[in-house]
Structures are given as structure tokens and as C-alpha cells.
Structure 1
Amino acid sequence: MGGSRTVPAPVELVELRILEGPNVYFPRPAVKLTLETPGWLRATTARSERLASSMRMPETTRAGDAGTDQRQRFAARLGAHVTREIATATGTRR
């Protein structure tokens, strides 16, 4: 009998909260979104660098090998970049 193997999603939702009204951090409603990105950490170097290029990150961006500190830093920079791109596209200001 063959066992089924589950492949984890490249991005997983950890938490989504709608912060209604003024709160400690913002004077207006806000959204808190927390994601895990194991796919960004596991992907091949070439695939990660293609992703960075498609997201218009600097050409000097290097993903490093999967499982390295460099890859973790790359994933953090990519997440920050994606967040800024979404904020810009939706007209969100600081």
C-alpha cells in the first residue's frame, strides 16, 4: 500500500487579524497578516533568484543555497519587498 505524502504549501497563513478602529499602533483600522514561507526557504537558488527578479528586486540580490543563513536573509528581504509593493499598489501610506 502506498502512503500519501503531503507537500507543504510554499506560503502558509499563520494569522490574519482585522484591527478595528484606533489601537496602540495605528489611529485607524489596520490588518495584521502573518505568513510562513517555507517554499521560499526550500526553493532552488535559480528559482529564488528568478522570483526576486520577477518582483523587481535589485539585480544584485542573491538568494544563497537552501537552508543557509543567506537564504533566510533573502526570504526576509523578499517579504519586506513584497509588503512595500502591496502597500504602494494599494495607496497605503505610513
Structure 2
Amino acid sequence: MDEPEWEAVNEEKLWKYVGWHLADKGIQSVLVGGAVVSIYSRGAYRSGDIDLVEPIVSKAEEIKSVMEGIGFRKVSRHYVHPKCKHLFNVSRA
């Protein structure tokens, strides 16, 4: 999957990009929180972060590997990308 335009990417396109890469490695996750509202409201609401819930069986190391492979790095509890304004937060179900 092609990289998004980082400076202009919205929550939906970013979620599709990251979700595709996670799924490619067999990691299922669920999008929750403000990003869902942003997608549903077609951008009328903006949260600035994207919350994912990982499966009950932790795949934290695999998720970290995927996120680093597409340019994100872990800072505290978030993943950040140097070209992207959105943050990713991954929580367990």
C-alpha cells in the first residue's frame, strides 16, 4: 500500500494505511474513540489522535515492529511519525 500524503492525511486514510500493515502481519485491531467520530462526521469533529484496541492476546512487540517499519516510533504510550500530525495510541481490549 502506498504511503499517504503525511502532511494532509486524515484519520480515515491513516487508519486504512496502518490497519492494512497490521493486518498484513496477522494483527487484528479495532479503531475506537475520537477518530471514529471524525470519520463518521466527515471531519466535523477532529480528535488529533487515533486509538486502536489490540486483541486480548497481546501483540505489543509485533505492533511495535509494524509501526516502526512504516516510520512511526514509540514515545511514551503513543506512536508518532515525523511527518504526520496524528498520534496513535494502542490499548489492550
Higher strand share: 2
Bigger share in helix: 1
| TM superposition score normalised by structure 1 | 0.31
Highest relative contact order (Cα 8 Å, sep 6+), 1 or 2?
Answer: 2
